[in-house]
Structures are given as C-alpha cells and as structure tokens.
C-alpha cells in the first residue's frame, strides 16, 4: 500500500469496494452485465436464505440517504433471488 509497517490485517480484508467515476454512471447503470454476474454467482453459490440474511444484517452501510435506499432496494432483490433459487 505504500506505507511501511502496516499490520497484516490491512491485507486480510473480505470487503469489496468500488470507486466509480460519476461521469460514467449512466453507462454503468445501463450495463446489466454486473447484475447478471451477481445473479449467476448467487444462483450457483451454496448460499441459503439464512446465510444471506446473516450477511445482509452484518453489512455496514454509510450514513448517506441515497446509499441506504440503494441498499434497501438491492437487499430485497438479493433476498428474493436466494429464496427462489432452484435446489
């Protein structure tokens, strides 16, 4: 990371973050391949409704209204997807 003496925990994160340029958001929103990939992964992962609920409950959402609303909408989509996936 460019800083000497960092603790090993700095390199052992399980977080997934993205920095998206605002000028490209319309193109990013119009590209469904990201959501199709998420759907594919969830449908093929050994993840049940209870496990998904635990993950969603442990999510830390920044205190920004737009992000809270996006999380609420996508949380419902994820829950429905995992609940209705074929066994």
Please indicate, yes or no, if residue 5 is contained in any of the structural domains: no
Please indicate, yes or no, if residue 28 is contained in any of the structural domains: yes
pTM value > 0.85: no
Tokens standing for residue 72: 């609420």
| Number of independent structural domains in the chain | 1
The pLDDT value given to residue 26: 77
Give 45-86 as a 3 state SS string. Answer: CCCCHHHHHHHHHCCCCCCCHHHHHHHHHHHHHHHHHHHCCC
Range 27-46 average pLDDT: 78
CA atoms within 13 A on the CB side of 51: 6
The pLDDT value given to residue 69: 87
Please indicate, yes or no, if residue 10 is contained in any of the structural domains: no
Please indicate, yes or no, if residue 58 is contained in any of the structural domains: yes
Tens of pLDDT, residue by residue over 13-28, are 656 666 666 777 777 7
Full residue range of the structural domain in which residue 53 is found: 21-83
Please indicate, yes or no, if residue 32 is contained in any of the structural domains: yes
* Residue that is written with structure tokens 């594919």 in the block: 40
């Amino acid at each position: 990371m460019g800083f000497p003496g960092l603790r090993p925990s700095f390199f052992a994160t399980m977080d997934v973050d993205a920095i998206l340029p605002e000028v490209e958001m319309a193109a990013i929103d119009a590209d469904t391949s990201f959501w199709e990939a998420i759907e594919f992964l969830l449908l093929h992962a050994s993840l049940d409704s209870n496990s998904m609920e635990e993950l969603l409950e442990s999510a830390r959402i920044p205190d920004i209204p737009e992000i809270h609303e996006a999380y609420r909408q996508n949380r419902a989509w994820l829950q429905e997807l995992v609940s209705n996936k074929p066994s």
